[in-house]
Amino acid sequence: MKDLTIAVVGATGAVGVEFLRIMEQRHPDLPCLKLLASSRSAGKRMTVGGKEFVVEETTDGSFNGVDVVFISASSAVSLKYAPIAVACGAVVIDDGSAFRMEDNVPLVVPEVNGADVEWHEGIISIPNCSTTPLVMVAHPLNRVNTIVRMVADTYQSVSGAGGALMEDLREQSRNHLDGIAGSSPLSNQRVAFNVIPQIDRFQPDGYTFEEQKMIQETRKIMHCPSMALSATCVRVPVYVSHSAAVHIEFERPMHPEEARGLLDAMPGVKVVDDPDRGIYPMPCDAEGSDDVLVGRIRRDASHPNGLVLWVVADNLRKGAALNSIQIAEELEARSCLKPGLMPRGKSGIAGR
C-alpha cells in the first residue's frame, strides 16, 4: 500500500475522516495521499499519521499519477469524477449509489465476494452502510443452508446521513431539552427524541430508495438474484453505528448453536450473545470497532426454518471507510489494480 498514490475525494466528510483514521491505523507507512474536497475546504489543513496535508479542491486535473481514488461525497460528484479518474488510469472505489447496480461494476464486501474485484473495469462500488453488515452475517449461513427469505428492519444512526445531520442532532437535542420546537432542515423531521421511518425518497411501490438499495445490493453481492428480501429502514437518534433486526428463513431448519458457530468462524464478525447477562450488541459498543457484532440469535417462533438475529456495525468503518480500504488491499493482493484482465461470471463468492 505504501507504494501507491491514493486520492480521497470527500476527505473532510464523516466517511473521509474515518478513512484517513483507518489508513493510519492499518498502514502506518502511509501511501502517498492526496486529500480532495469541494472549494469550501480548499486550503484546510488535516493531520494524518503525524503528517500535515493541505486539502485541495477536486478538479478534472486532480487524478494524474493517482493509482486509487476513493470517492465519498455524493452521487453527482461520483458521476462527474469517476470516469475522469478512470481515464487517468486510476481505479475508483466509490462509496455512493451511482454505479452500484451497473453490470460492469463489482459491488464488493471482501469477506463475502472479494474475488469480484478481479473483473472491475475501473470502478468498484461499496454497498450501502446497512447492506454490508447484513451480507456479512447472511453469507456464512447461506453457504451451508440456502436462505429462502430475509427481512431486515434497521435502526440507522445519524452519521449515515453525513456530518451535517450529526451536528443537527446535537442542536435539536439541546433545543428540545430547552423546550424549543424545531425539525431538521436535512431530514425534514425532528430526529432528536424521535424515530423516522424514512431514509431517502419514497418509490412508487411504497419502499424507500434506501430499502430498495438494501434489497438489490444484497442479491448482487451474494450472487442470489432471486432471494426474497424485504426491509424497513429507520433513522434513530444515535450518532454512530447502524443496527438491524434480521429474520432469516432457510431451506432447512438451522439450530441457533450451529448459526453461532458459523458466525463465530466468519472473519470480520463477532458473536456477542449472552442475553441472560445482558450481553448483546449495541451501537455504543460497535462504534470504533471493525467487526460486525451479532447477538440475540434465536429460533424464529413464526417459522420452523427461521432464525432471528440482531446485528450492529459501525457504519462509518465497516459500513463505508474500512470496506473501501479492504477493497484496495484486495486489489493489491490479487495484483489487479489495473482493470480488464479477468472475464466476468467467475464465481467471486468466498467459500464456494
Ligand X SMILES: NC(=O)c1ccc[n+]([C@@H]2O[C@H](COP(=O)([O-])OP(=O)(O)OC[C@H]3O[C@@H](n4cnc5c(N)ncnc54)[C@H](OP(=O)(O)O)[C@@H]3O)[C@@H](O)[C@H]2O)c1
Residue type, 232: T
Helices (DSSP H) in 27-74: which residue ranges?
none
Q: Which three-class secondary structure string do you get for 180-231?
A: CCCCCCCCCCCCCCCCECCCCCECCCCCEHHHHHHHHHHHHHHCCCCCEEEE
Tally DSSP H helices, then E strands, for the chain: 9, 14
Q: Which residues bind ligand X (CB under 6 A)?
A: 9-16, 37-38, 40-41, 58, 72-74, 77, 95-96, 129, 159-160, 162-164, 315-316, 319-320
Q: How far is the CB of 205 from ligand X (least distance, A)?
A: 22
Between 16 and 133, whose beta carbon lies closer to ligand X? 16
**Closest approach of ligand X to the CB of residue 338, in Å:** 25
Q: Which residues pair with 68 in a beta bridge?
A: 6, 91
Q: Is residue 284 among the annotated active site residues?
A: no
Least Å distance between CB 9 and ligand X? 5
Selection from 26, 2, 4, 14 nearest residue 325 by Cα: 26
Q: Which of 344, 325, 70 is nearest to 220 (CA)?
A: 344
Q: Which residue is nearest to ligand X (CB)?
A: 13
What is the identity of the amino acid at 273? D
- Nearest residue (CB) to ligand X, 96 versus 348: 96
Q: Provide the minimum distance between the beta carbon of 92 and ligand X in the complex, in angstroms, as a whole number.
A: 13
- CA 299 vs CA 271, 282, 307: distances in Å: 16, 20, 5
Report the nearest approach of ligand X to the CB of residue 7 (Å): 11
- What DSSP letter does each residue of 103-123 carry, written as one string? TTS-B--HHHHGGGGGG-SSE
Q: Which is nearer to ligand X, 68 or 297 (CB)?
A: 68
* Alpha carbon distance 14, 7 (integer Å): 16
Catalytic one among 129, 224, 233, 336? 129
Instruction: Clarify whether 176 is annotated catalytic.
Output: no
Contact by Cβ (8 Å): 246, 125: no
CB of 156 to ligand X, least distance (A): 8
- One of 120, 139, 242, 336 is an active-site residue; which one? 242
Taking the least distance from each CB to ligand X, the nearer of 14 and 254 is 14
Helices 131-142 and 256-264 cross at an angle (nearest 10°) of 110
| Torsions phi, psi for 186 (to 5 deg) | -85, -50
- Name the residue nearer to ligand X (CB basis): 16 or 122: 16
Nearer to ligand X, 89 or 163 (CB): 163
By annotation, the residues acting in catalysis are 129, 242
